[in-house]
Amino acid sequence: MTTVLKAPPLRRAGGKATGPKVTGRKNWGYTALAIFFLAIMLFPVYWMVNASLQPNGTTLETSWFPVKPDFTGYATAINEQAGNLGTSLIISLGSVALSLAIAAPAAYALAYFKVRGAGVVLFAILISQMIPGIVVANALYTAYNDLGLLNSIPGLILADSAHGIPFAILIIRAFMNGMPASVIEAARVDGAGHLRAFWSIVLPLSRNSLITAGLFTFLFAWSDFLFALTLTTTEAVRPVTLGIFQYIGAYVNDWSSVMATAVLASIPAIVLLVAAQKYIAAGTTGGAVK
């Protein structure tokens, strides 16, 4: 005996079938809950901006709203931290360029070539992401001391990019695995070599993953504190994160300048995230569906 399950009848409005009715009260509840959690997560950002606009003083004396905004902290931050911001920008852009220059060809080789031991290489890449940063920084200090790379911008670029390369390889390779192999085969049939196919076909199609990997590398290098603290022993090279750290010790009673520096240091990351938002969404989901 076969039992036939019937779907519940659809309600009709004006002679047309309609689906289940969704109550607006439930949607408003979810929206209010989302706004509540968003306000909790963004409150430290608001407090940072609010404290940067207050007159000089401790955070205990800060009011909830900047009734009379004071930009003295920003003037101090620009005068004393502009060089550190420029140093961080150079290091971050250099780290992005070096990371993509190494990660993109490596991802292409792991995705399309039958490399013996490719699984072992990928496993080693994952393991490298689990090594504590302080272990890497201490090992680099000894090597940098012998090579003369301490207190140098190239040294920090090399350290930051080395930390970002494994993640970039994983992101780009996942995207390239989702690309149809027929596109590359067609280029090969037309006479293009591996290098030409990689440069003219694969890289343009992998734009989203390259932007995603580059952005995450930039954010890591921009916010890096551990490598900057370990691999610099003088004031010759000082990224903004190290500048803020030493800034607090000198201006512990002038939190408006400290918070103003933090706001200025957050602007590049915010601008890049907003500008590359659609590329990040496409890059992180690339390769999920083939």
pLDDT tens digit sequence for 42-52: 888 888 888 77
81-285 topology per CATH: MetI-like fold (1.10.3720)
Q: What are the residue ranges spanned by the domains of the chain?
A: 81-285
CA dihedral 223, 227, 233, 239 (to 10 degrees): -20
Give the span between the Cα atoms of 205 and 107, in whole angstroms: 14
> Percentage of the chain surpassing pLDDT 90?
16
Contact indicator for 208, 175 with CB cutoff of 8 Å: yes
Split at pLDDT 50, 70, 90, the class of 12 is low
Give the span between the Cα atoms of 276 and 81, in whole angstroms: 27
For the chain, report the end-to-end CA distance as a whole number of angstroms: 42
Contact indicator for 164, 95 with CB cutoff of 8 Å: yes
Q: Is the pLDDT of residue 6 over 80?
A: no
pLDDT at 287: 46
Q: Hunting for tokens 């003083």 — which residue is that? A: 57
* 76-96 pLDDT, tens digit each: 888 888 888 999 999 999 999
- Please list the residues that pair with 155 across neighbouring strands: none
Q: Is the pLDDT of residue 190 over 60?
A: yes
| Residue 250 identity (one-letter amino acid) | A
pLDDT at 159: 92
Going 162 to 167 to 171 to 176, the CA torsion angle's sign is: positive
Q: Is the pLDDT of residue 286 over 60?
A: no
